[in-house]
Amino acid sequence: MTETIKIFDTTLRDGEQCPGASLNHDEKLKIAAQLEKLGVDIIEAGFPIASPDDFRAVNEIAKLVKKSTVCGLARAIEKDIQTAFEAVKPAKKKRIHLFLATSDMHLKYKLKMSRAEALVRIKEMVSFAKSLTADIEFSPEDASRSDPKFLYQALEIAIRSGAQTLNIPDTVGYSTPTEFGNFIKNIRKNVRGIKDVVISVHCHDDLGLAVANSLAAVENGARQVECTVNGIGERAGNTSLEEVVMALKTRQDFFKLKTNVKPKEIFRTSRLVSSLTGFVVPPNKAIVGSNAFAHESGIHQHGILAKRETYEIMKAEDVGVERNRLVLGKHSGRAALIARMNELGFKLTQNELDKTFERFKLLADKKKEIFDEDLEALVVNEISEATAEWKVESVEVTAGTGKKPRAEIALRNSAGKIFKQKSGGTGPVDAAYSAVNKIVGEKVKLLEFRMDAVSEGIDAQATVAVKIETAQGRIYSGKGSHTDIVVASVKSYLNALNKIIAGKERLKVVL
């Protein structure tokens, strides 16, 4: 019988810790619903103690999700653990994931704790968590840089105290595949009681080895992999869910293992996460990049036409990439739009659909053809603006050779009141942003401004992505789309400012 590797998705916890990737409550619920549809075994929904908003999101996800286990992260502190339990309590299947560092570096400089004190803390806190719920996971943070003999002691205590899953993190992405594979092999060999628990791995991509390290661990007995959609996360990111899943599926002849993930949901999950976080998937990204199944070379094209397998080891359809597109335009009706939205994985409420259809018709009057990317941009705008404090009412700019750029901006607040301001600047976008600042009143620094055409043609929509930094040093991202690049710029800037206003202040926890 083929063994199954559990997929533990931490997109909503570790993935969201990536600077600028803050998600609002509704966006988290949409991603959680899609992760369950994707078929992941465990959804790490967040870090409940971090903020009231994090607690609420985890709690709502626990009520929403029925098939996947819902997990909450906690430090090895009683209050953290109790809060995590209360957050996941409504879940049909729930888990508490607690962690404590075991490397001497972390113990000495971060925790200021001795090894003996760490062992006592592990015993007490795992036991406490076990008294609340049956499914407990323990992680010795910075395991790959810990003294092996001390790590074995810590893991044995965690097992005796009730942990059913032991997660071995390569917290700073320091390890290499052969080294990490042997590390897991030695844990299986030297830790008493290890056969009664699941070994999990959580690898970071600082050296670009997260997926390779995770697969090496699987070869050596790990049976759960912790990963994120598109590999997003702290610093260089985490193990990429889609790469691990498709490596195990494509090379089942080698690994002789399987997962419960539904591959055909991979692409739409990737697109949803990218759209809502504002983190663009690189074109050459394995599995989900726009060029992953593209062939330009004449030799490659000839080979593909003769036999697909000459240059493709996977079918595009296997991961949900559709070769043919339903062409939508100004003559298309509501039924066609709904059908295409469903194919793209967006389940809209009636109100969201009505507003999206209105925007679709306005856009169709300006463009001959509406592409999938246009539709995704429309939906993301609707989701982002649905609960926003400030919305764009109108944008007027004047600029050109010999003219000083000027902008007049009108914004509508959540109470329906309209505010107008005029301002100048070095260019039309700078002038528009200056006017927005006068209305909103937030003091921020623009760190990054990026503009891309959403789809093909001279009449394409523009998507603008920005990153801004608050006076406290926190970073937020924003994204907006429109056929007018200045309007798109204002939408993206306002999207980021709305996240600040919504109180997206979170405690950053590195696992």
Asked whether the beta carbons of 65 and 91 are under 8 A apart, the reply is: yes
CA atoms in the 13 A half-sphere facing the CB of 99? 21
Give the domain ranges of the chain: 3-277, 293-320, 334-384, 387-501
Q: At what angle do helices 25-38 and 266-277 cross, to 10 degrees?
A: 170
pLDDT at 301: 43
Sequence letter at residue 466: V
Sequence letter at residue 21: A
Token pair belonging to 315: 């079918």
Asked whether the beta carbons of 7 and 41 are under 8 A apart, the reply is: yes
Phi, psi values for residue 3, rounded to 5°? -75, 150
**Beta bridge partners of residue 69, listed in sequence order:** 42
3-277, CATH topology level = TIM Barrel (3.20.20)
| Length of the chain measured in residues | 511
Token pair belonging to 239: 């193990």
- Number of Cβ within 10 Å of residue 116's Cβ equals 8
State the sign of the Cα–Cα–Cα–Cα dihedral 473, 170, 89, 38.
Answer: positive
Residue 400 DSSP one-character state: E
Asked whether the beta carbons of 457 and 482 are under 8 A apart, the reply is: no
pLDDT at 389: 84
Do the domains spanning 3-277 and 387-501 agree at the CATH topology level?
A: no
115: burial class by Cβ within 10 Å (0-12, 13-18, 19+)? middle
217: burial class by Cβ within 10 Å (0-12, 13-18, 19+)? buried
CA–CA separation, 497 and 467 (whole Å): 10
387-501, CATH topology level = Double Stranded RNA Binding Domain (3.30.160)
pTM here? 0.74
Q: How are strands ordered across the β-sheet holding 475-482?
A: 444-453, 462-470, 475-482
| Closest of 398, 452, 444, 445 to residue 425, by C-alpha | 398
Asked whether the beta carbons of 173 and 236 are under 8 A apart, the reply is: yes
Q: pLDDT in tens for each of the 511 residues of the chain?
A: 789 999 999 999 998 877 777 788 889 999 999 999 999 999 999 999 999 989 999 999 999 999 999 999 999 999 999 999 999 999 999 999 999 999 999 999 999 999 999 999 999 999 999 999 999 999 999 999 999 999 999 999 999 999 999 999 999 999 999 999 999 999 999 999 999 999 999 999 999 999 999 999 999 999 999 999 999 998 999 999 999 999 999 999 999 999 999 999 999 999 999 989 888 888 889 998 877 765 444 454 446 456 667 767 777 788 888 653 344 666 666 766 776 677 666 667 788 778 877 877 777 776 666 666 667 666 666 555 656 789 999 999 999 888 899 999 999 998 899 999 999 999 999 999 999 999 998 889 999 898 877 556 666 678 888 988 888 887 787 888 888 899 999 998 998 888 888 654 333 333 3
